């Protein structure tokens, strides 16, 4: 898995399918967001869509 450098979503692609930014193999932490509208953690992290996210990307 790779993480987008901008939006932190996890993907297998070399560029992010959502924002087009390059992805990195160097990431830490794992967050799964199912319902971002009712999630306090997603609100704090600024996440607007469901998916798998990395907490830290280098």
Cα separation, 5 vs 17, whole angstroms: 12
Whole-structure pTM value: 0.89
Give yes or no for a contact between 58 and 24, defined as CB atoms under 8 angstroms apart: yes
Please compute the mean of the pLDDT values over residues 34-50 and round it to a whole number.
Answer: 94
Which pLDDT score is estimated for 7?
Answer: 94
Q: Which domains does the chain have, with CATH numbers?
A: 2-57 (2.20.28.90)
Average pLDDT estimate for 47-55: 95
**Which class for 57: exposed (0-12), middle (13-18), buried (19 or more C-beta within 10 A)?**
buried
Contact between 3 and 24 under an 8 Å Cβ cutoff? The reply is yes
**pLDDT for the residue numbered 18:** 93
pLDDT digits (tens, 9 = 90+) for 6-32: 999 999 999 999 999 999 999 999 999
Cβ atoms 55, 21 nearer than 8 A: no
């Amino acid at each position: 898995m790779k993480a987008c450098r901008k939006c932190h979503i996890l993907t297998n692609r070399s560029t992010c399918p959502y924002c087009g930014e390059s992805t990195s193999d160097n990431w830490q932490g794992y967050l799964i967001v199912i319902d971002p509208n009712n999630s306090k953690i997603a609100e704090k992290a600024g996440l607007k869509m469901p998916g798998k996210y990395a907490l830290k990307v280098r």
